[in-house]
Amino acid sequence: MGIRVERKGDIFKELDMIVREIADDLHDDVKKRTPVDTGKARDGWTKRSSGKGRVVIANKVKHTPYLDAGGHKGPSRPYAPKGMTKPAIKELQRQVSRGKYKMNKGK
């Protein structure tokens, strides 16, 4: 006996749209929170689909993890003392709990 679940129908399309909307919002927020000195770290954020229902947000700029940990190289340099990803995820969680991302029920 087995149960086969396939990604067909409107419900999966809606779920994929919600995932993309969440990823767009998270990408934009984390990018906005990234401090700018040369602009490399902020410009380094990418977003790509990794199969249906999956989106990967990444930054390959070498010093981005340091910035995300709250580091900086002196008082004159911009930095994010609370990082970028954790505050962006917290904000996303607040928006989810407020009901921003909903499926179109009854359609």
What pLDDT score does 5 carry?
59
CB atoms within 10 A of CB 23: 18
| Confidence category of residue 84, pLDDT binned at 50, 70, 90 | very high
Residue 9 predicted with pLDDT over 90: no
Average pLDDT over residues 76-105: 85
What pLDDT score does 106 carry?
46
What pLDDT score does 24 carry?
95
Nearest to 58 by CA among 7, 14, 23: 23
Which is more confident, 23 or 75?
23
